[in-house]
């Protein structure tokens, strides 16, 4: 019992430090690692070594993937490629189902671009579509936000799911994570769209809401500000070619060797390694650069991407350190046997992630901390197989979107740009993320019954 109480105390420390005292998650997780190490009685001579090896170990596996994915996302964002993606989706789907179209745009754009940035970029498109098609701005805002949120929490190369996969030993199985994540994220996005449709006849009631009707031309102005937009091929290639290569690499590595064991296998295994695939994606992003001095612009985009990636890398490394400390204790075996007896199984990662997300606001922190916490337990609760680990990432992702409210920066981006009052945003956006999380977790549970 004392082992569980210590763990509860450490988790409470993480929640209180990040939510109440606003301590940075990086330092919080490092301090939690030391607290857990001392509380569980690890030999003092081994504590620093365990923490540093855990920190470096996870970044050795997944750090470059996070950096490369973030730089690609930055180039796509700054070049107007996200606008091109949105235009392609509208052209393909038409304007018959505006909320579904808006959700799909968000779903695609948020694979390479952070959901906060994605909403800002696409806000004028959303409002323009709402005005032209006489659809509620609230329903369109929720559809966009939930579409963005779905892939943000489930689909690599978004940093949160990548970090969770790395913590759970899936750095060589990202193709499988992507394949399952795309399906789960699509279900979550559709659930968000259905919730958005509940507000089809409700207009924003926040400050400045009346200004929205005057924003019809903003989207065209935004497009012009990017100059000549990239072609659809150039816009989609840097993200979808790496995803395709990673998936093909995973397929080639199946025990049944569906693609053989000869030269094609060797090529796909090389290209399917996440670092190699994303390097190719980065090369494919170079044609998106617009200035006459492409080398300088490329360097600027790399610098901007590194600024975004740095805190994610630190939090991910700290999560690895925390996980390494827990692995060095007996808590995994003890808690795993206890949970097995309770029959909680796949729901345990969801509950922990949901608690962390709701308490401190960051989906990425919830993904990293929860994956580090549950990694030592997987064998004892029957989730040690590759598919078990993948479904654990999905369960954590479902928890990491449950729920987005006032302590989440994305909540305020959606609220302010949509001119919703806080009360209205809680009914529309926060409840939508609850519906998404519960729907996704239900699907993950069904998949666990079928696939495990």
9-13, 24-28, 332-336: range with lowest mean pLDDT: 332-336
C-alpha angle 147-153-155 in degrees, rounded to nearest 5: 85
Summarised one tens digit per residue, pLDDT across range 362-383 is 888 889 888 988 888 888 777 8
DSSP 129-149: HHHHTT--HHHHHHHHHHHHH
Judged against a pLDDT cut of 90, whether residue 124 lies above it is answered with: no
Residue length, the chain? 452
Mean pLDDT calculated for residue range 273-301: 92
Rounded to two decimals, the pTM is 0.84
Classify residue 291 by burial, with Cβ atoms within 10 Å: 0-12, 13-18, 19+.
exposed
Q: Sorting pLDDT into bands at 50, 70 and 90, what band is 1?
A: low
Tens of pLDDT, residue by residue over 203-237, are 888 766 566 555 545 667 778 888 889 999 999 99
Cα–chain-centroid distance for residue 256?
31
pLDDT digits (tens, 9 = 90+) for 30-52: 999 999 999 989 999 999 999 99
pLDDT score for 216: 47
Segment 313-318 shows an average pLDDT of 87
Predicted confidence (pLDDT) per residue in 83-97, tens digit: 898 888 888 887 788
**pLDDT value of residue 113:** 81
Centre a 10 Å sphere on the Cβ of residue 280 and count the other Cβ atoms it contains.
16
| Tens-place pLDDT, residues 424-433 | 998 999 999 9
The answer to whether 368 and 408 are in contact (CB under 8 A) is no
Q: Among candidates 122, 123, 132, which has minimal Cα distance to 84?
A: 122
Backbone region of residue 134 per phi and psi (left: phi > 0; alpha: psi in -120 to 50; beta: other values): left
The sign of the dihedral angle between the CA atoms of 185, 360, 327, 166 is positive
What is the Rg, in whole angstroms, of the alpha carbon atoms belonging to the chain? 22
Q: Tell me which residue of 266, 319, 275 sits closest to 174, measured CA to CA.
A: 275
283: preceding bond cis by omega (within 30 degrees): no
**Within the chain, what is the greatest distance between any pair of CA atoms?**
67
Mean pLDDT of 247-266: 74
d(CA 404, CA 265): 43
């Amino acid at each position: 019992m004392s082992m569980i109480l210590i763990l509860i105390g450490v988790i409470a420390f993480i929640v209180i430090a990040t939510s109440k005292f606003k301590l940075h998650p990086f330092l919080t997780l490092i301090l939690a690692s030391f607290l857990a190490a001392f509380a569980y009685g690890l030999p003092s001579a081994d504590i620093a070594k365990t923490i540093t090896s855990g920190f470096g170990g996870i970044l050795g596996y997944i750090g470059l993937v996070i950096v490369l994915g973030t730089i690609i996302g930055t180039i796509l964002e700054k070049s107007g490629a996200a606008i091109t993606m949105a235009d392609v989706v509208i052209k393909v789907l038409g304007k018959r189902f505006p909320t579904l179209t808006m959700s799909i745009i968000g779903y695609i754009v948020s694979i390479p671009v952070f959901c906060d940035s994605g909403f800002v970029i696409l806000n004028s498109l959303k409002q323009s579509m709402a005005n032209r098609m006489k659809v509620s701005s609230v329903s369109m805002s929720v559809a966009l936000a939930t579409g963005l949120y779905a892939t943000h929490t489930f689909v690599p190369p978004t940093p949160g799911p990548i970090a969770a996969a790395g913590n759970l030993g899936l750095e060589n199985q990202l193709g499988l994570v992507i394949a399952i994540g795309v399906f789960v994220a699509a279900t979550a996005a559709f659930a968000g769209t259905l919730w958005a449709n509940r507000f089809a006849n409700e207009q924003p009631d926040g400050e400045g809401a009346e200004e929205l009707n005057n924003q019809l031309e903003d989207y065209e102005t935004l497009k012009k500000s990017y100059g000549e937009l990239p072609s659809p091929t150039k816009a989609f290639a840097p993200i979808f070619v790496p995803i395709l290569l990673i998936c093909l690499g995973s397929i080639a590595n199946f025990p049944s060797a569906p693609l053989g064991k000869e030269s094609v296998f060797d090529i796909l295994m090389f290209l399917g390694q996440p670092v190699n695939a994303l390097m190719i994606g980065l090369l494919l992003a170079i044609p998106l650069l617009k200035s006459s001095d492409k080398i300088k612009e490329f360097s600027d985009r790399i610098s901007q991407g590194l600024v975004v990636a740095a805190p994610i890398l630190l939090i991910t490394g700290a999560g690895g350190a925390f996980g390494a400390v827990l692995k060095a204790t007996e808590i995994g075996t003890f808690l795993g046997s206890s949970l097995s007896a309770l029959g909680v199984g796949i729901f345990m990662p969801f509950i922990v992630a949901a608690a962390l997300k709701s308490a401190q606001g960051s989906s990425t922190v919830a993904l990293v901390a929860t994956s580090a916490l549950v990694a030592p337990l997987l064998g004892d609760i029957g989730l040690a197989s590759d598919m078990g680990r993948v479904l654990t990432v999905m369960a954590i992702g479902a928890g990491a979107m449950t729920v987005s409210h006032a302590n989440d920066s994305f909540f305020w981006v959606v609220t302010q740009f949509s001119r919703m009052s806080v009360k209205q945003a809680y009914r529309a956006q926060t409840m939508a993320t609850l519906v998404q999380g519960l729907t996704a977790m239900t699907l993950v549970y069904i998949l666990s019954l079928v696939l495990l």
